[in-house]
Structure 1
Amino acid sequence: MNLFFSYLYNPIPVCSDGTIKGVRKIENDKTKYMKTIKPRLIVMSFLQFAVWGAYLTSMGSYLSRIGLGEKIGIFYAMQGIVSIFMPAIMGVIADRYVRAERLLGISHFIAAVAMFLTGYTGLAAAQAGGVPEFGVMFAFYSVSVAFYMPTIALSNSVSYSALTKYGYDTVKDFPPIRTFGTIGFICAMLLVNFSKSEGISFQDSYMQFFVSAAFGLVLAIYAFTMPACPVSKNKGSLSFVDVFGLKAFTLFKERRMAIFFVFSMLLGVSLQITNGYGNAFISSFQGSADPVIAGSWGARNANALISLSQLSETLCILMIPFFLKKFGIKTVMLIAMFAWVLRFALFGAGNPGSGVWMFILSMIVYGVAFDFYNISGSLFVDKETEPEIRSSAQGLFMLMTNGFGATIGTLGAQAVVNHFVYRAEVPDWSAAWYIFAAYALVVAVTFALVFREKKHPSKV
């Protein structure tokens, strides 16, 4: 009876259309967040890759200038080494213990602090008139990339979760958001290229690490404002095989998939070579005996020139559906492989003076080389594997390419460049680039002879 009178004198508020006001408020809030979630994810994607773009293509130039050119490959190899295990470990933590958006913020904070200390090591050495101690700088840098590399997958998880939560189609709506990541990468590159401190461009100084740290700290704070991601309620124990997604290695039992993954690793060798040495190579023309080449815009703005590669990458994504449907995965992968041949060969033949057109063409080719290999390969793996191991298979693809492949590639490239450039009486960059081109050519020809598509390939 009390409940009856309570309801009689305090009725549930109802809107004119018959809906309960509380429900109307929830629906209005959801609509409001639906309108704002895409811009918020765009900002997150922009910052995510701006952190990386601030130093990825210019760090080699700085290390070369301070006398650590022979160590460039080790710095870039560390990104591949941590990619072998850190994303898997952080993925399990995000799935079961800590919400993904919080773990994203924590990881970026640690990475930013370590990157700041990397830059401070360079600053302290410069003020003392010496060279940074390799062990100290490399240790701070290693901690930074160890916590940064997993955030690429974590930021994707946050985006997928938010889009799904507010009723968006991830396949349709995520790619345009991800495009702003590449824009952020390019903007950071240009910022580092055109900013100067004491007459020295950021691309040739420790300041690039401070820029990266600043972007990272902003994103660390921003990540905590993102919508909450779900955490699995199943707290059962996981085996070593489950944690590292090793079930996907059963795909090696099928000859065709085994060949695909092996060649993914062999092609992954090419991934970080131009990132590591491209800027140092182009900047080296400032010491050319030809005053026209030495004073050319390209020689003085290597990062801006290289940014054309990322622009091409953004545009080439749009070509992938047509080429996959028209030619199939084998032809698309071969196009990527031969594009790597051109990428390296054009570097070897060009210069920032009269041969600058070769550099520009190499930057355009990069979009085909990277996208047709990375994105098409990922789509192929998605379509050719069973649902229960699909995520693990994607992890295996990344492990073979960005893990083993990139690590082997950067260490191998370091040996080649050290021999022909840093330890040679007369540096010969062209010889190094032609060796990389020859390697890519051998991989492409071998892949063409060995890999076989299904007679009736699945539509990717």
Structure 2
Amino acid sequence: MSLKLRLTIMNFLQFFIWGAWLITIGGYWFQNKGWSGAEFGAIFSTMGIASIFMPAISGILADRFIGAEKLLGIFHLIGAVILCLLPEVASPSMFFVVMLINMIFYMPTISLSITVAYSALQKNDMDIVKVYPPIRVWGTVGFIVAMWTVSLLKIETSAAQFYVAAAASAFLGVYAFFLPKCNTNNEHTDKSMIEALGLDAFKLFKQRKMALFFIFSMLLGAALQLTNAYGDTFLHDFAKIDIYKDLLAVKYPAIIMSISQVSETLFILAIPFFLKRFGIKNVMLMSMFAWVLRFGLFAIGDPGDGLVWIIISCIVYGMAFDFFNISGSLYVESQTDEKIRASAQGLFMMMTNGFGAILGSSVSGVMIDYFYKDEQGHFLWSEIWLAFAIYSLVVAILFAITFKHKHDPKEVENFSH
């Protein structure tokens, strides 16, 4: 089996595990368990909590003590066991604890899988910039296939989705031990604990421009959690309305939502053109206004005549997600010193997937419970999506006013070299 194929299988499984439950867990939570929105928001905050500290800790372990491929395997095997335990949980508080443990072991595997791929490609003298992206795309394909699998099996509101994820996690856990070996460095280093954990990048907050950038990264990270948490549940809720309950979008909402991931793969290809033509700040602004459209179109959409608005919203998602996350990482690359560049990228991820995820999931859950349910406890979806759209619009306007960055075409050219 070729190296590219081995790494492709790894990436496919890595994101298949996540796709099997991330978008559909809302259906399980609200349709099956009937637990509250505030408690559900806390569940989505677990990935943010885990993202704050676990990638750094796993990085130290992989660098110094145990090969990244072995650590990847161990974490996925543990994750498989934990995913099997989730359906046995009878209370929302215990579900939070078990999911947090699951995320503690899953979130660092994302960076570990990247480490395994980069290490293997470098050892085989392959051009990472050219070879890795086509391999990574199969991760998104895995996420989409998982969503379709769960939807076509009609287990979107069932605990069975966790068993599907657990099976994939167990398979990848074993498979990882047969991936190319990653070297460890047991030699003494002069790095302080702060440097080892990547915390030295926090000194970037002393620069007003970078501080603003990281704050807005957190606010955009919050928007991402809103769409992950409630998109599938939104479509499931139409099953309570007779004129919608038999429609395709209500029967297979995960398939409709998977258009977002398809769009994501396509917009990645458009980023170089947009960066060169409009500059990093304007591309990030496009992302923010795309979030406004993402939520605003959901507000006026429905599975019937309004399905076109939901589909357009899913297409817009590709721009909303890619244009900030990828352009943001390029901005960090261009603005930070080489000595702390890796730490700065880790800080960017911490603000978006860590603090941003916690902010978006916890606050939205509480607000929905208090302000966006009717007397019977039903979600007021149009108002919910409109509130999210207004939030995104305010963030976009504040970013446009406060964040100063002059476009330099040479800056974009430097990224390609």
Indicate the TM-score class for this superposition, using the shorter chain for normalisation: over 0.9
Give the match for residue 360 of structure 2.
409
Q: Deviations over 1:223-260 (max 9, x none)?
A: 00011101113234753312321111122222222211
C-alpha deviations, 1:112-158, integer Å up to 9, x for none? 11111113x16xxxxxxxxx222333322221111000000000000
**Contact kept in structure 1, 2:332 and 2:344, CA below 8 Å:** yes
Q: Conserved in 2, the CA contact under 8 Å of 1:417 and 1:429?
A: no
Tell whether 2:112 aligns with 1:161.
no
The answer for the alignment partner of 1:67 in structure 2 is: 34
Structure possessing the higher relative contact order (Cα contacts under 8 Å, 6 or more residues apart): 2
2:39 pairs with 1:52: no
Query: Structure 2 length as normaliser, TM-score?
Result: 0.95
The alignment of Structure 1 onto Structure 2 pairs a total of residues equal to: 409
Instruction: Tell me how far 1:424 sits from its aligned partner.
Output: 4.2
**Match status 1:350 vs 2:318:** no
Matches within 5 A, 1:32-43: 36-43=2-9
Shift of 1:450: 0.8
Please give the alpha-carbon distance, in whole angstroms, between the structure 2 residues aligned to 1:281 and 1:255: 39
Take 1:206 and 1:428, find their aligned partners in 2: how far apart are those partners?
26
Paired position in structure 1 for 2:214:
261
1:389 corresponds to: 340
For the pair 1:93 / 2:61, whether they are aligned, the reply is yes
**Structure 2 CA distance for partners of 1:374 and 1:455, relative to 1, 3 Å:** closer
What SS does the corresponding residue of 1:262 show, helix, strand or coil?
Answer: helix
Q: Residue 141 of structure 2 corresponds to which residue in structure 1?
A: 183
C-alpha distance in structure 2 between counterparts of 1:113 and 1:41, whole Å = 24
Question: Which of 75, 80, 85 is residue 112 of structure 1 equivalent to?
Answer: 80
After the TM superposition, which of the residue ranges 426-435 and 438-447 deviates more from structure 2?
A: 426-435
Larger Rg belongs to: 1
Structure 1 237/147 Cα, relative in aligned 2: closer, same or farther at 3 Å? farther
1:203 aligns to what SS in structure 2? coil
| Paired-residue identity, % | 48
Q: Is the 8 A contact 2:10 2:172 kept in 1?
A: yes
Letter in 2 for 1:116: C
Give the whole-Å Cα distance in 2 for the aligned partners of 1:210 and 1:421.
33
**CA offsets, 1:323-375, max 9 Å, x none?**
11111111000000000000011111100001000000000000000000111
CA–CA separation in structure 1 for the residues paired with 2:387 and 2:92: 28
Q: CA RMSD in A?
A: 1.5
The unaligned stretches of length 5 or more in structure 2 are none
In the aligned structure 2, how far is the partner of 1:138 from the partner of 1:115?
A: 12
The C-alpha deviation readout for 1:255-313, integer Å capped at 9, x for no partner, is 2222111111111110111111111111100111xx33222110111111100000000
Does the aligned pair in 1 maintain the 2:11–2:142 contact within 8 Å? yes
Change (3 A) 1:57 1:259: same
Q: Counterpart amino acid of 1:102?
A: K
Q: TM-score, normalised by structure 1?
A: 0.86
Alpha-carbon distance in 1 for matches of 2:283, 2:22: 27
Mapped pair 1:226 → 2:193: no
